[in-house]
Every structure is written in C-alpha cells, then in structure tokens.
Structure 1
C-alpha cells in the first residue's frame, strides 16, 4: 500500500507531540498487521482506511 499524504501528516503531527509513531508499509493483511502490533505490545494502533482518507479531517478510534 502506498502511504498517502494524509497518513504522513498524522504521523508527523503525532511526532511533534512527542508521541512515537510509525507506518506499517507491509503488504500483510489487516488482521496480520493488528496481530503483529499486539505481539509487539504496541499500546495503540491507528488503522487508516478509505473512510478516513475520504474524510481527511478525522480519524476514527475504537
């Protein structure tokens, strides 16, 4: 998946707030990416999908 500018902007915004952030650019399926973040004990994972790209002004967290 190519990383759109919106995703890059979110990562940069988080880093400016001194929050460690990175993008998983792997071709793994969504469930595998989530599992990998759980195994790595990452406390929060933000998934940016088409809905977030379409809205470009909010990220849905659940």
Structure 2
C-alpha cells in the first residue's frame, strides 16, 4: 500500500509517493498541471490508499 502527498505552491507542486514504512518511493517537482501530476502518479494508481494535499494561502 502506498500514499501520496502533494505540497501545492502557486505555480508548481512537489509530489511524493511513500510506502507503508514511510520510505520515499518517488518524488518530483511538477508544474500545477493536473494531467502531468496524474501521469506521474499513474504507476502507483492501483496501490494508492490515499492522496493528501498541503496548501496554505496568505
């Protein structure tokens, strides 16, 4: 089972995938483009238990 975390910024996001032991499986900075983020997550789609998004607004 894997999990994804997305740190959302104004024009890009850092997308991470971790496993159940908190080992980083993959991590990449991507533009805020849904198709690119989904393509990055595609290899783990069937194994992702959840996705969390962290964002702040000033």
With normalisation by structure 1, the TM-score equals 0.32
More relative contact order, 1 or 2 (CA 8 Å, 6+ apart)? 2
Larger-Rg structure: 1
More strand by share: 2
TM-score by length of 2: 0.33
Q: Which protein is richer in helix relative to its size?
A: 1
